[in-house]
Amino acid sequence: MKDIATPKRTKDILERHGFRFKKSLGQNFLIDPNVLANIVDAAGVTEETGVIEVGPGIGALTEQSARKAKNVLAFEIDQRLLPILNETMAPYPHVSVVNEDVLKADLHKRISESFAPGQDLAVIANLPYYVTTPILMKLLEEKLPVRVMVVMMQLEVAERIAASPGSKAYGSLSIAAQYYAHTETVFTVPRTVFMPPPNVDSAILRLTRREKPPVDVADEALFFELVRASFVQRRKTLLNNLSKHFQDKLSKQETAEALQRIGIDGARRAETLMMKEFAALTSTFFRI
Ligand code: SAM
C-alpha cells in the first residue's frame, strides 16, 4: 500500500479535503516515509505493543505505527482532521482517534479503556512545537505505564532535555526529564522533511522510563521547586537564587548555612549542580 507520507500522496489528500495548515496548532506534517519508519523502529514496537500518539495529523506516523503495533490510540485536537483520518486510517481498524486536547485528557482512564492491563506501551509522536514541553512533562509527571517515548521535537528543546551538568543547555527541564527517564537523541532531522517546513531543525528523542528515580528525594514537590528556584536567574549564584526564593521564611545567612551543612558552595551556579546535589538540597530544606 502506498505510504500516506509521500509528498505526492500528502498533497493529494490535503487538496482533496481542502485542508489548510494551522500554524497555531504546530501543524508541520512529515513527508518522508523513511524518517517515519525510523521513529517507529526506535521505539522497539512489536505486535504486542500499544502505541499512544499525540497529534496524528493526516496519519503519516500513525500508519507506520499501525503496521507494527497491536493497536494505536491517537489524540488529535483539530476536528478538521477527523474526516481525513477516517479515510486514511480505514485500512487500520486497530487505530482509534479521539478528538481531544492531550493536555486536558484523562490519560490513565484512556489508557485503561484502550489497552490490556500490563500491555507493552510506547508513545510515538511528532509533537506540536508550541506545546512540546507541557505535553512531555504531563506524560512524564503522570507516571503513565509507558515503557518508552520516541518523540520528534525542535532540536534545541531535545538538547535541553538530554543536557548534562555544566553545559549551557542544562536546566530545570533536563533535570525534570532525567529524573523520570533515560534520555538520548536518536537522530536529527532537517526541516526539509516537513510540509510546510518549520523554521528550525528537529531531533528525535528517546525517553526510556526509569524503574525508579536516579536519586532518593525527601519530597518530590520540594525537589522540583528547588530545581526551578535555583535556575530562575541562570547567571546568579545558587545562594542568591535560593535566598530570594526563601526570603519570607529564611534570612540569607540561614540559607547560606543550609548550603554549608551539605558542603555545597553557594557561589556556584545551578548549572554546575548534579541531580544528587539537588536531592541533598531537598533533604536540607525539607528539615527547615
Ligand atoms: N503526526 C503528524 C505528522 O507527523 O505528520 C502531524 C504532526 S504535527 C507536528 C502536530 C499535530 O498535533 C497536528 O496534527 C496538530 O493538530 C496536533 N495537535 C496540536 N496541539 C495538540 C494538542 N494539544 N493535543 C492533541 N493534538 C494536538
* Cα 56 to middle of ligand 1, angstroms: 6
* Whether residue 1 has pLDDT greater than 80: no
User: Rounded to whole angstroms, how far apart are CA atoms 2 and 4?
Assistant: 7
Residue 229's domain is classified under what CATH number? 1.10.8.100
Closest CA to 222 of 280, 156, 274, 152: 280
126 is in an annotated binding site: yes
Specify whether 235 is located in the same domain as 202.
Answer: no
Query: Do 134 and 229 belong to one domain?
Result: no
**pLDDT score at 142:** 95
From 209, 240, 273, the end of a domain falls on: 209
The pLDDT of residue 2 = 85
Note the pTM of the prediction, 2 decimals.
0.94
CA of 90 to the centre of ligand 1 (A): 19
Number of domains composing the chain: 2
Cα(255) to centroid(ligand 1), Å: 44
Q: Is 194 in the pocket of ligand 1 (CB under 6 A)?
A: no
The whole-number pLDDT of residue 287 equals 83
Tell me what the mean pLDDT of segment 82-94 comes to.
98
Give the closest residue to 213 by CA, choosing from 165, 175, 181, 173: 181
Q: Decide: 101 in ligand 1 pocket, CB within 6 A.
A: yes
Instruction: Tell me if 250 is assigned to a ligand binding site.
Output: no
Whether the CB of 171 sits within 6 Å of ligand 1: no
In a domain, 215, yes or no: no
> Which residues constitute the domain of residue 155?
7-209
- Among 165, 183, 209, the domain boundary falls at 209
- 141 and 248 belong to one structural domain: no
Q: Which of 13, 21, 29, 132 most suits a substitution to test ligand 1, by most atoms within 8 Å of the C-beta?
A: 29
Mean pLDDT for 189-205 is: 96
Residue 246 has pLDDT above 80, yes or no: yes
CATH number at residue 35: 3.40.50.150
pLDDT digits (tens, 9 = 90+) for 38-72: 999 999 999 999 999 999 999 999 999 999 999 99
Instruction: Work out the average pLDDT over 147-156.
Output: 97
Residues 190 and 236 in one domain: no
Q: What is the mean pLDDT of the chain?
A: 97
Residue 127 pLDDT: 98
Ligand 1 atom with the smallest distance to the CA of 105 is 24
